Chains A and B, each alone.
Chain A
Amino acid sequence: MKQTSSRLTTQRMTRLALLAAAAVVLGYIEGILSAFMLLPPGIKLGLANTVLLYSIYLLGPGYSVILMLLKVILTGFMSGNLASAFFYSMGGGALSLLMMLLTRSIGRESVSIVGVSVVGAVFHNVGQLLVAALILRTPGLMFYIFPLMIAAVVTGVITGLAGRQIVRVLRIPGSSDPFQAKGGEEL
């Protein structure tokens, strides 16, 4: 028994590390892509959010919080200016995850993974912009939330559809490993 649980712990740790790495790399690639495409600031696909969707649906809230923190801290270390990048992504990541978990628990049967993803995308931008307005102390910038919201709804639908496929493929229905899957839950 003891052996099983410690084996599981190692497995969980490795899986979390893998997921965190995937999230960081997706975020990094996306950063390069959006700089290359000269998109307006703050607008991006949010590919890394597919990893969080995976963890919200398959691993539960606790592991999702750990993953979000890992992603924010690692991304902070990778960028040149730790402090400001850290606060922006923390603001976005924390508010986004909180709202996704709320949407999921309130919406249970009636809201799918796509709705959860859209809420996450929008509140990621809200969180980042709030932090930016706090740091710069320029409330005049808050108007920018509205164009950002439109972009986030579109990208949220896209990443939500992608997230649904990812969860479908990666889950193992009926698995005895509680870390693997919660059966054939509807997405």
Chain B
Amino acid sequence: MAENEKKPLMKKRDLFIVAALLLVAVAGMAAVKFLSPNTATGSAKIYVGSYVYKEVSLGEDQVIEIDQGNDIVNHVEIKDGAIYMSDSTCPDQQCVGQGEISMDNYEQRVLRNWIVCLPNQVTVELTLEDEG
């Protein structure tokens, strides 16, 4: 009959693991929020791999084409002070779905000041600086 006893879904040690991991995550997010540079400079860097492909100002509306050959093309667009991936030849289209970064919204975004296209290795970083 012991088999029919209602068992808890998790053991104590499971809960400990869950709590420890959540604690690390929350502490890490707080550290990122308070320790990382907190002022947007109004410019952004577009990387291909680890190389800066172009540095752009959010004040200037434009479309930047990043053509890596072999049908790997991304378009980054700047419009009304916001930068976003307007299209990409990557299969998952995650980067397009990540939306725009502006001077005001980067602290609320999950990916903060970044747009990442992993398959095409194109990243956009809104440049941040420490105040003063």
- Residues of A bordering B, CB below 8 Å: 31, 35, 38, 40-41, 79-81, 84-85, 88, 103, 107, 110-112, 114-115, 118-119, 122, 132, 135-138, 140-141, 143-147, 149-150, 152-153, 157, 161
Known: A41-B116, A115-B13. 8 other contacts (CB 8 A): A35-B93, A85-B119, A111-B11, A135-B121, A136-B49, A146-B32, A149-B24, A150-B25
A85 vs B120: C-alpha distance when bound (angstroms): 11
Residues on A with C-beta less than 8 A from B92 are: 31, 35
Closest partner residue, chain A, to B96 (CB atom)? A38
Within 8 Å of chain A (Cβ to Cβ): is B98?
Answer: yes
Of A88, A146, A153, the contact of B29 (CB 8 Å cutoff): A146
Closest partner residue, chain A, to B36 (CB atom)? A143
Q: Determine if A114 and B14 form an interchain contact, defined as CB atoms under 8 angstroms apart.
A: yes
6 closest A-B pairs by beta carbon, nearest first, are: A137-B50, A146-B28, A115-B14, A149-B25, A110-B13, A40-B110
Residues on B with C-beta less than 8 A from A81 are: 91, 119
Shortest CB-to-CB span from B116 to chain A, Å, is 6
Shortest CB-to-CB span from B28 to chain A, Å, is 4
Within 8 Å of chain A (Cβ to Cβ): is B88?
Answer: no
A136 vs B9: C-alpha distance when bound (angstroms): 40
Residues on B with C-beta less than 8 A from A115 are: 10-11, 13-14, 17-18
- Residues of B bordering A, CB below 8 Å: 9-14, 17-18, 21-22, 24-26, 28-29, 32, 36, 47, 49-50, 91-94, 97-98, 110-112, 114, 116, 118-119, 121, 123, 125
Q: Determine if B14 and A112 form an interchain contact, defined as CB atoms under 8 angstroms apart.
A: yes
Residues on A with C-beta less than 8 A from B98 are: 40-41
A99 vs B125: C-alpha distance when bound (angstroms): 32
Residues on B with C-beta less than 8 A from A114 are: 9-11, 14
Residues on A with C-beta less than 8 A from B118 are: 41, 84, 88, 132, 136
Residues on A with C-beta less than 8 A from B11 are: 110-112, 114-115
Of A79, A137, A144, A152, the contact of B111 (CB 8 Å cutoff): A144
Q: Determine if A136 and B28 form an interchain contact, defined as CB atoms under 8 angstroms apart.
A: no
Residues on B with C-beta less than 8 A from A138 are: 47, 50, 123, 125
- List 25 interface pairs A-B (beta carbons < 8 Å), by A numbering: A35-B92, A35-B97, A80-B91, A81-B91, A81-B119, A103-B17, A110-B13, A111-B13, A112-B11, A112-B13, A112-B14, A115-B11, A115-B14, A115-B18, A136-B116, A137-B50, A143-B32, A143-B36, A145-B28, A146-B29, A147-B29, A149-B24, A149-B28, A153-B21, A161-B9
